[in-house]
Structure 1
Amino acid sequence: MILSWRTLRKVLIAAASAAYVVLGFVAAISDDPPLIALIVGVVPMFAIALATAWNSRARVPLVLLCLALGVAFVLNLEFMRTHVAWLYFVQHAGTMLSLGIMFGATLGSDESALCSRIACFALNSRPDEKYLHYTWKVTLAWTIFFFVSALLSVLLFFFAPLVAWSTFAILLTPILLGIMFVGEYLIRCRAIPDRPHFGIAETIQAYNNFSRR
């Protein structure tokens, strides 16, 4: 049976994600990690930063900055390889903190909350007040999740064995994110059962479309 391109793409993404997690965990707890672990840890982060810079209003200076950092990274490969745990720590804690700030900064009102705006975009209409208040609370829940994750990342990295931090940041974080998505969906179905609902994949797609507009 020949796999469709969509199925094959999902398989490849799943395989790449698994490889990233395994290599990241091994690299973070190793005193002499393989070079491939360092490359796998940096390339996705660099690609995201470069894409963000390219789509920003200050495209030229930000792209030049990304390229300069890329050159500096290549010129200091050996140093970075022996400090790869710090790379993964900055990536994890920085991402969690940035997301916490991004979600938290929108909590001024029900309608301005990030999850409310994404819901409006996904539904292509403005939900009623009850729905908007619920999505405000979802935004608050995600804000707390990201800030707590960032705090735990810092505490575990500096005050616990490295394997404990690596287990939390690299192995458990994807699982916890999945639990948050599934848990929110189940709660939404019970809290506002008579409203339109969309699944995890649709939520992620709506966020991607919202962020690119």
Structure 2
Amino acid sequence: MSGARSLPVVPLLTGLLLLAWPFLIWFGLAHNSLHWLLPLMALLLFLRFRQTRQQVGPLRVVTQVVAAAGITLCIASYLLKTHQLLLFYPVVVNGVMLAVFGGSLWSAMPIIERLARLRERELPDTAVRYTRRVTQIWCAFFIINGGIALFTALYGDMPLWTAWNGMISYLLMGTLMAGEWLVRRQVIKRDTQ
């Protein structure tokens, strides 16, 4: 197999790692096996960081910061033998996303508008207002989700932490994306009539 063909494996593995983070941490803590999982997780996050250097787009920096935070938490947990630090990774992810989405509200073009303009260069005024509102909704989501993630990390109940950060928050995020897509279809349909 050539080197060019094996490259898509790295994004797939690192993407799966990020999705499985809560379950890997739960498994590692439950089975006292984080001593070998942490270096592997740090390596995959390092590969994720390196692969994003070639990406373009508004979420490139987000991916790099999130990967760097994960690497830092893995190394600190390994060296300090305080694996509870790993529970704060979802909090960091939500904080970074809130900073990016919220910070973009103070710029000329919110992040959702930038993403929308990747598909359609010219957006009508109603679409621009809509993308600003969607960016605000995502900010509220990151505040609430990050707050609950922080509570679960501080509370220290591993089944609760794993259920929220490994399943419930993803379901809520997917519901928000699907709901936004449905509303966007209606807004576009209304504006074209």
TM-score category by the smaller chain?
Answer: 0.5 to 0.7
Aligned counterpart for 2:112 among listed residues 115, 120, 145:
115
SS at match of 2:104: coil
SS at match of 1:105: helix
SS at match of 1:126: coil
Aligned counterpart for 2:154 among listed residues 146, 151, 158:
158
> What residue in structure 1 maps to residue 65 of structure 2?
none
> What residue in structure 2 maps to residue 169 of structure 1?
165
Counterpart CA distance in 1 for 2:27 and 2:113 is 39
Aligned counterpart for 2:75 among listed residues 58, 73, 76:
73
Offset, 1:91: 2.1
> What residue in structure 2 maps to residue 45 of structure 1?
45
Offset, 1:122: 1.6
1:20/1:41 contact within 8 Å kept:
no
Offset, 1:130: 0.5
Cα deviations across residues 40-70 of structure 1 (Å, max 9, x unaligned)? 5433433334456788xxxxxxxxxx7xx78
Cα deviations across residues 24-50 of structure 1 (Å, max 9, x unaligned)? 3323x5262344543454334333344
Instruction: Calculate the TM-score normalised by the size of structure 1.
Output: 0.62
Counterpart CA distance in 1 for 2:159 and 2:54 is 36
Closer/same/farther in 2, CA of residues 172 and 47 from structure 1, 3 Å limit: farther
Cα deviations across residues 54-103 of structure 1 (Å, max 9, x unaligned)? 88xxxxxxxxxx7xx78x939x84x46x533422x232111110110100
Instruction: Give the partner amino acid of 1:97.
Output: G
Counterpart CA distance in 1 for 2:103 and 2:95 is 12
Offset, 1:114: 0.8
Instruction: Give the CA RMSD over aligned residues.
Output: 3.7
> What residue in structure 1 maps to residue 85 of structure 2?
86
> What residue in structure 1 maps to residue 94 of structure 2?
96
Q: Percent identity?
A: 16
Is 1:143 aligned to residue 139 of structure 2? yes
Counterpart CA distance in 2 for 1:129 and 1:181 is 22
Offset, 1:108: 3.2
Q: How many residues align?
A: 168
Counterpart CA distance in 1 for 2:36 and 2:178 is 33
1:103/1:113 contact within 8 Å kept:
yes
**Structure 2: stretches of 5+ with no match in the other structure:** 56-67
Closer/same/farther in 2, CA of residues 41 and 182 from structure 1, 3 Å limit: farther
**Structure 1: stretches of 5+ with no match in the other structure:** 56-65, 197-213
2:42/2:75 contact within 8 Å kept:
no
Segments of 4+ moved more than 4 angstroms: 50-55
Closer/same/farther in 2, CA of residues 160 and 195 from structure 1, 3 Å limit: farther
Aligned counterpart for 1:130 among listed residues 118, 126, 129:
126
